[in-house]
Amino acid sequence: MVKKLTCIQCPKSCSLAVDIENCRVAHVSGNLCPKGDEYARAEVENPLRILTATVLAQGLSLKMVPVRTDKPIPKAKIREAAAEIRKIRVTQALNVGDIIVADFLGLGANLIATRKT
Ligand code: SF4
pLDDT tens, position by position, 26-83: 999 999 999 999 999 999 999 999 999 999 999 988 899 999 999 999 999 999 999 9
Residue 109 has a CB neighbour count (10 Å cut-off) of: 23
Q: Is the pLDDT of residue 107 over 90?
A: yes
Mutate to test the pocket of ligand 1, among 29, 31, 38 (most ligand atoms within 8 A of CB): 31
Strand partners, 66: 54
The pLDDT assigned to 21 comes to: 94
Q: Per the confidence metrics, is the pTM higher than 0.75?
A: yes
Number of H helices and E strands in the chain, helices first, is: 2, 10
Same domain, 35 and 87: no
Separation of 34 CA from ligand 1 center, angstroms? 8
Going by alpha carbons, the residue nearest to atom 8 of ligand 1 is: 10
90, 57: one domain: yes
Q: Would you give the DSSP letter of residue 97?
A: T
Expressed as residue numbers, the domain containing 86 is: 52-113
Query: With bands split at pLDDT 50, 70 and 90, how would you rate the model's confidence at 117?
Result: confident
pLDDT band at 23 (very low <50, low <70, confident <90, very high): confident
- State the SS3 of 51-92: CEEEEEECCCCCCEEEEEECCCEEHHHHHHHHHHHCCCEECC
Spatial CA neighbour of 109 closest among 43, 50, 38, 46: 50
Looking at the structure of the chain, the number of domains it has is 2
Q: Are residues 70 and 109 in the same domain?
A: yes
